[in-house]
Amino acid sequence: MKKFKKIIEYYKPYKKEFITSLIFSVLTASIDTFIPFICRFITDKVIKFETNEAIKIIYYLILIILFFIILRYFFYKYCYHKGHLYAAKIEVDIKNDIFRHLQTQDFAFFDNDKVGKLMTSITNDAFNISVVLKHTPEVLLDAIIKIIFIFWFLFFNNWKFALILFVMFIFVIIFMWYFLPKIQKLNSDSREIFSDLASDLEENLSGIRTVQSFNNENIAINKFNQNNIKYLKTKNKMYLTESIFYSGIFAFIYLWAPIITAIGSIFILKNSLNMSQVITFLIYVGILEGPLWGIVRLNDFLKDGLVGFNRIIKILGTKPKIKNSENNIKLENIRGKIEFKNIFFGYNKNKIIFENLNLKINPGEYIALVGASGSGKSTICNLIPRFYDILNGEILIDNINIKNIEIKNLRENIGFVHQDTFLFSGTIKENISFGKINSCEEEVIEAAKKAYAHEFIMNLPDKYETHIGNKGLTLSGGQRQRIAIARVFLKNPKILIFDEATSSLDNESEKFIQKSMEKLSENRTMIVIAHRLSTIRNAKRILVLSNGKIVEEGTHEELLAKNGIYYEFYNFL
């Protein structure tokens, strides 16, 4: 029930348009059922009047019919325009809620959920739900009003004839009741497979360079083809079931007219009905087809909408594991002291990385983390901004537990440069400005100069307004890293983290990055992860990690003198 309550809340900002649409839908359905009643009155009563009087009454009734048709025009126009508009607004609200909710999720959430599925929820699912929210009340209300009025009229005129039609109608409803859940289940399965296809497609296209560099195009094609075959099999089952369903509905609907004609003829011969009543019955049964097709069409909306509904509720129901504590504080005049106390951590409880880890970094200290892949270097860096939460222990900044610091404030004071630099599609200026929203052009240029990026930017055709393409792939790796560092310069944090920022660069680019890092480290606490040990010789302290433990510690010279793990790394690399 809570699930539906959450979705129904989206109506609240637009309740005026929603209620007005429902009222106008009721009036439209009423007009649809009332006009045949006037027609029946003409054919059954008026034609028996004196000719001139009958013609006069017919003219008046035609004017009344035209009046109701004009009213229906405006009612339907409002329902279509305003109804679809508030549905579009609901769609936008759902998308905003999902996107806003995703921004609060921790890294673990995105580690477990494929980006393609999340993108499907933001785009397709939000639209499908808005369609359901728009059409469901209107279609059901229209169907209820027409069914009740039509059968009331039929029973009032001839209950025996009406009972026959009612039994046929109930049979159609049972037929629909049996098949619609089956169709919805099959559609749900196909939508899930489609979502997996979208995820695989997004993953493959994002990694197309890796696929092609290893000549694994055929493997990618076969994997995608297998998923497509699985999708096709599910679709085949669904279309087979739908073919039986729709063929059955068509057969029932097309049977009504000849059955009414045949039975009506028998009733006429027995003087139980007259011709005008049979004609009116035919008209009303024709109108009855509308609600039936409305329900069938609604099922098409529900097929996609219910799948999207469950996915979105699942996303919105996933509470952020990392959130602000009550009575959280903001850091002011941060010095940059960092301390790990008795840390226990694992990305899942079955695989613990740190057991009782202790580490102290002094304000303004430049330290480096060295170790084999999987030793815990990047994990240490990810824990400081609370991208993940520890299982036990404390992480302190300036002697304050980071769980007691407002998350936004904590991350404002930390600058992070990753190995795989992510740049947004847009201009260079926009990407650097991401470090400080609403920064002026002079600040952007100054940050680029400090990062040794200004010179190559000025050589580009549009300089700072140059569009860099998807993920900045029109730039070299070194250029992307320098833009990322310029972004950090603009942010101006007191704590800096470089996670293997130079591992994939050529020697010339590495020199520029090294200069940028040295300039950026002035009066800041800096943590650097590096595979190239040449880049960390100037670190005040180097920590060597192995299997989640700090096994060696000292300066470059001190560690070489120990002839230990660091010595082996240095000589090997």
Task: Give the containing element (helix H, strand E) for 277.
Answer: helix 275-316
DSSP track, 326-395? TT-B---S----EEEEEEEE-SBTTB--EEEEEEEE-TT-EEEEEESTTSSHHHHHHHTTTSS--SEEEE
At residue 572 the predicted structure's pLDDT band, cuts being 50, 70 and 90, is low
Q: 405-442 as b/e, with b when 16 or more CB fall inside 10 Å? A: bebeebbbbbbbbbbebebeebbbbbbbbbbbeebeee
Q: Residue 221: is its pLDDT beyond 80?
A: no
At residue 71 the predicted structure's pLDDT band, cuts being 50, 70 and 90, is very high
Q: How many angstroms separate the CA atoms of 484 and 496, rounded?
A: 12
Q: Residue 514: is its pLDDT beyond 60?
A: yes
The answer, as to whether pTM is greater than 0.75, is: no
35-44, 77-86, 116-125, 194-203, range with greatest mean pLDDT: 77-86
3-state SS, 27-53, equals HHHHHHHHHHHHHHHHHHCHHHCCHHH
At residue 145 the predicted structure's pLDDT band, cuts being 50, 70 and 90, is confident
Q: How many angstroms separate the CA atoms of 365 and 134, rounded?
A: 60
pLDDT tens-digit map of 275-291: 777 787 788 877 777 77
pLDDT tens-digit map of 94-108: 888 888 877 777 766
DSSP track, 406-435? -HHHHHHTEEEE-SS----SSBHHHHHHTT
Q: Residue 302: is its pLDDT beyond 80?
A: no
Q: Which residues contact 371 (CB under 8 A, 6 or more apart)?
A: 377, 544, 545, 546
Report phi then psi at 532, rounded to 5. Answer: -80, 105
Q: Residue 501: is its pLDDT beyond 70?
A: no
Identify the pLDDT of residue 372.
79
Q: In this structure, what token pair is assigned to residue 366?
A: 């430049």
pLDDT tens-digit map of 163-206: 888 888 888 888 878 887 787 777 777 777 776 777 677 666 66
Identify the pLDDT of residue 74.
92
Q: Residue 349: is its pLDDT beyond 80?
A: no
Q: Residue 570: is its pLDDT beyond 80?
A: no
For residues 368-376, average pLDDT: 81
Identify the pLDDT of residue 310.
74
Identify the pLDDT of residue 230.
80
At residue 128 the predicted structure's pLDDT band, cuts being 50, 70 and 90, is confident
Q: Residue 519: is its pLDDT beyond 80?
A: no
Identify the pLDDT of residue 1.
57
Q: Residue 156: is its pLDDT beyond 70?
A: yes
For residues 128-154, average pLDDT: 81
pLDDT tens-digit map of 382-438: 888 888 888 888 889 888 898 888 888 888 888 887 766 777 777 888 888 877 777
For residues 351-376, average pLDDT: 85
Which has the higher per-residue pLDDT, 491 or 217? Answer: 491
For residues 552-568, average pLDDT: 82
Q: Residue 362: is its pLDDT beyond 60?
A: yes
Identify the pLDDT of residue 493.
83
Identify the pLDDT of residue 331.
81
Identify the pLDDT of residue 213.
56
Q: What is the mean pLDDT of the chain?
A: 79
For a pLDDT cut of 70, what percent of the chain falls above it? Answer: 87
Q: How many angstroms separate the CA atoms of 353 and 395, rounded?
A: 16
Q: Residue 363: is its pLDDT beyond 60?
A: yes
Burial tier of 241 (Cβ tally within 10 Å: 0-12, 13-18, 19+) = middle
For residues 136-151, average pLDDT: 82
Parallel/antiparallel/unpaired status of strands 354-361 and 495-499: unpaired
Q: Residue 223: is its pLDDT beyond 60?
A: yes
Q: In this structure, what token pair is assigned to residue 28?
A: 């439209």
At residue 504 the predicted structure's pLDDT band, cuts being 50, 70 and 90, is low
DSSP 440: -
At residue 334 the predicted structure's pLDDT band, cuts being 50, 70 and 90, is confident
